[in-house]
A and B are shown apart, each in its own frame.
Chain A
């Protein structure tokens, strides 16, 4: 272990050259982050407003990272002395993560121009959090996972409190920070207990260890396991640990809310699925029932609490809680179809989320905060009304939209895993959630509000920028196009879930 001899001095470089190839996208991303930071700070001294510039540059960088990722050598491999792991599942999730991040930067670009904010650090922070999320996805031991989680969380705290003048943003940032610190504490405590009880740091060692001995022989591993995973439940906002979600969603500005809703869910459910399916599957009997309870309570609570919400952001937050419940439910089924369902559900969630957040950002100038403010939207802006309708129908899981396939595959996999009661609750809750999503649609299409929305629209008629309207249109069309030809969706999800198992 200790590199004493001369021999160890040259062996590092051979070990390093392969890593350079396999971790090229991440290394490129880090170089871009450093470059943009220095670029931004040096040129902002000259008095120029650089926020749009750096945002455009970061979109370019994300496209390059995406290309590098698609050109990576493929197959399963361990990189950097088994700190990072990569297979097809991770690679596909990473590509979708990058695409989502491009969408988020585009959305925030519009918001930045609208608010005339001069913080180029916004894009840099987003890139750093993306790097953290990628590290979370590919982590193969406790330490790299923790580094990734902290990179993501720390930049998210800063993003949440970014709007200095807003008290709500500060409150949201503080709440998010405290909750995140508690979750990190749980993570570290659980990880150190797991290490103490088993002596393993790498996740792949856990699967080896647990497949060779009965888990009950390792005393205390259950406690450690649940403490460890409760931190993930904290971060995704599943029910016993969900109280922070509505406040944080409501307090942060709209672009940051979009980032909070979309990016971490993709990565965290990716890593939860991978941990539970690949490394802790021997403990399946132990973790299935508590996680099913968490999932069921999440979607029941998310659906019921969203009924009484008047604010659109709080409603989306409770919707997010129930979405993480469904995703967790898909993981709990413990079958390959469950993993496939999770991927399908994640993709439909991302699509509908991008659509609705882009629409809301575009409607920012008409001050849409309450659901009642949507009244008469279909008259003044039928395209946006159509896009919002598509995304809400997808979130509710109504058949002609892609969200239906997500819920269908989750419930089918649950039936295959014989979770009948949970599936029944899930169907009931999605019926309940259909009620409040349809209520918004009724407000959009069939109500004329007391407040003239059109007055804002005729004045700020062109406030959807070209990129934003392209994005909204693209995602809304995709929401309807994928169900017509769902082969590609099923192919991608099946390929990734096979990559997870194989």
Chain B
């Protein structure tokens, strides 16, 4: 238990360090790289906590796609680095104060309520079949989401559909006068119909 917790703390500390690098590094590309690093570390933390589906999603979605998207944003927008840094240190004291206040509050509340006396529960709630056939997060989500809660699935599908429509609506602009290549039209074209004898 202690070993696991120390590993957890180590990785979480590394993730915090990577998070600090995100906001403190000069080049935006470097901050995106350290963002990717912090995502990977977060997925390790989740793996340590045995929340394997979230770890998987972090690796696939955040590292695989969103970080790349961030890189694209960096390339699309020509962000001036110096201005951003000036603003950062201007707001730093206030933000730090508010954040420490929040963490102080949370710290007052958290340990009292989450510490469960495990020895108190285990003799009553240990079910041997479950101990033998243990499921991870992936399996339990699979059991529930597709059978009992299909409406969530449909809602998520609608959300993704909306994302497709919104992204295309906002970014895709097809000019009217632009000539495009229409491959099928070109292939369908018959020279007999096109050529005319000019008298």
Do A and B contact each other directly (Cβ–Cβ < 8 Å)? yes
Chain A contact residues, CB within 8 Å of chain B:
1-3, 8, 12, 19, 23, 30, 33, 37, 80-81, 83-84, 119, 121, 124-125, 128, 131, 135, 143-144, 147-148, 150-151, 154-155, 157-158, 161-162, 164, 196-197, 218-220, 223
In the complex, whether B83 has a CB less than 8 A from a CB of chain A is no
* Contact yes or no, B162 A154, CB < 8 A: yes
Interchain CB contact under 8 A, B170 and A143: no
Chain B, 143-170, contact with A by CB distance < 8 Å: what is the 0/1 string?
Answer: 1100111011011101101110110011
Cβ of B113 within 8 Å of any chain A Cβ, yes or no, is yes
Q: A119-B169, A147-B159 are contacts. A81–B154 as well, Cβ < 8 Å?
A: no
Q: Cβ of B180 < 8 Å from any Cβ of A?
A: no
Our count of residue pairs bridging A and B at CB distance below 8 angstroms stands at: 82
Known A-B contacts A2-B143, A143-B152; the reply to A220 vs B109 at CB < 8 A is: yes
A151 touches B155 (CB 8 A): yes
Instruction: Show the binding face of B for A, using Cβ within 8 Å.
Output: 105-106, 109-110, 112-114, 135, 140, 143-144, 147-149, 151-152, 154-156, 158-159, 161-163, 165-166, 169-170, 173
Known A-B contacts A121-B169, A164-B173; A81 and B158 likewise in contact (beta carbons under 8 Å): no
Residues of A within 8 A of B170 (CB): 158, 161-162, 164
Rounded to whole angstroms, the CA-CA distance of A121 and B169 in the bound complex is 8
Q: Tell whether, in the assembled complex, residue B165 and residue A83 are in contact, meaning their CB atoms are under 8 Å apart.
A: no
B166: chain A residues within 8 A (beta carbon): 125, 154-155, 157-158
3 nearest A-B residue pairs (beta carbon) = A158-B166, A220-B109, A147-B155
Answer whether A125 and B162 are a contact pair too, CB < 8 Å, given A143-B152, A158-B169, A161-B170: yes
* Minimum Cβ distance to chain B for residue A176 (Å): 13
Given the complex of chains A and B, what is the CA–CA distance between A147 and B156 in angstroms?
A: 7
Closest A residue, CB atoms, query B165: A121
A144 close to B163 (CB less than 8 A) = no
- Which of B148, B154, B156, B173: most chain A CB closer than 10 A? B148
> Given A30-B158, A81-B149, A144-B155, A162 and B169 touching (CB < 8 A)?
yes
Q: How far is the CB of B61 from chain A (nearest CB, A)?
A: 16
Closest Cβ–Cβ distance, residue A290 to chain B (whole Å): 15
Complex CA–CA separation, A184 to B162 (angstroms)? 17
Task: Report how far A157 CA is from B109 CA in the complex, Å.
Answer: 36
* CB pair A83 B109 closer than 8 Å: no
In the bound assembly, the distance between CA atoms of A157 and B169 in angstroms comes to: 12
Q: Which residues from B are CB-within-8-Å of A119?
A: 169
Nearest CB on B from A435, distance (A): 36
16 contacts between A and B (CB under 8 A): A2-B135, A2-B143, A30-B158, A83-B149, A83-B151, A124-B165, A125-B162, A128-B158, A143-B149, A148-B155, A154-B166, A157-B166, A158-B169, A196-B114, A220-B110, A223-B105
CB–CB B147/A3 < 8 A: yes
- Distance to closest chain B CB from A314 (angstroms): 25
Q: Please measure, in the bound complex, the distance between the C-alpha atom of A502 and the C-alpha atom of B156, giving whole angstroms.
A: 32
Q: Please pick, from A1, A131, A164, the residue contacting B158 in the complex, using a CB distance under 8 A.
A: A131
Q: How far is the CA of A442 from the CA of B135 in the complex (A)?
A: 72
The one of B109, B140, B147, B156 in contact with A219, judged by C-beta atoms closer than 8 angstroms, is B109
Beyond A147-B159, A151-B162, A220-B109, is A30–B169 a contact (Cβ under 8 Å)?
Answer: no
Chain A residues whose C-beta falls within 8 Å of the C-beta of B144 in the assembled complex: 1
Report chain B residues within 8 Å CB of A30.
154, 158
- Measured CB to CB, the closest approach of chain A to B117, in angstroms, equals 15
Main secondary structure of the interface of A (DSSP, over half): helix
Q: Is the pair B158, A223 in contact by a Cβ cutoff of 8 Å? A: no
Q: A158-B170, A220-B113 are in contact. List 6 more A-B contacts (CB 8 A).
A: A30-B154, A83-B149, A125-B166, A128-B158, A155-B166, A223-B105
A166 CB, min distance to chain B CBs, angstroms = 13
B156 nearest CB across to chain A (Å): 7
Question: B110: which A residues are within 8 A, CB to CB?
Answer: 220
CA A162 to CA B169, docked complex, whole Å: 8
Complex-state Cα separation, A12 to B150, whole angstroms: 11
Chain B nearest Cβ from A8, distance in angstroms: 8
User: B152 contacts A154, CB within 8 Å?
Assistant: no
B63: shortest Cβ distance to chain A, in Å?
20
Residues of B within 8 A of A196 (CB): 113-114
A54, chain B: closest CB distance, angstroms: 13
Q: Which residues of A contact B135 (CB under 8 A)?
A: 2
**Closest Cβ–Cβ distance, residue B176 to chain A (whole Å):** 10
Complex: chain B residue closest to A135, CB-CB:
B155
Could you say which residues of chain A place their CB within 8 Å of the CB of B147? 3, 8, 12
Which B residues touch A84, using CB under 8 A? 151
Whether the pair A125, B113 counts as a contact (CB closer than 8 A) is no
A19 / chain B contacts, CB cutoff of 8 Å: 151
Report how far A130 CA is from B154 CA in the complex, Å: 16
Contacts of A131 in B (CB 8 A): 158
B156 / chain A contacts, CB cutoff of 8 Å? 147
Could you tell me the distance in whole angstroms from the C-beta of A285 to the nearest C-beta in chain B? 19
For A148, list chain B residues within 8 Å (CB).
155
User: B147: shortest Cβ distance to chain A, in Å?
Assistant: 6
User: What residues of A have a CB within 8 angstroms of the CB of B140 in the complex?
Assistant: 2
Q: Please, which residues of chain B bring their CB within 8 A of the CB of A37?
A: 161, 165
Which residue of chain B has its CB nearest to the CB of A15?
A: B148
Query: In the complex, A223 Cα to B105 Cα: how many Å?
Result: 9
Distance A121 CA – B172 CA, assembled complex (angstroms): 13
- A151 cross-chain contacts in B, Cβ below 8 A: 155, 158-159, 162
Among candidates A1, A33, A128, A197, residue contacting B143 with C-beta atoms closer than 8 Å: A1
List of A residues within 8 angstroms of B105 by Cβ: 223
Name the distance in Å between B167's Cβ and chain A's nearest Cβ: 9
Q: Which residue of chain B is the closest to A197 with respect to CB atoms?
A: B113
Contact A125 B165 (CB under 8 A): yes
Least CB distance, A88 to chain B, in whole angstroms: 22
Chain B residues, CB < 8 A from A144? 151-152, 155
- Chain A hits for B109, CB < 8 A: 219-220, 223
Cα A3 to Cα B135 in complex, Å, equals 13
Q: Which residues of A contact B159 (CB under 8 A)?
A: 147, 150-151, 154
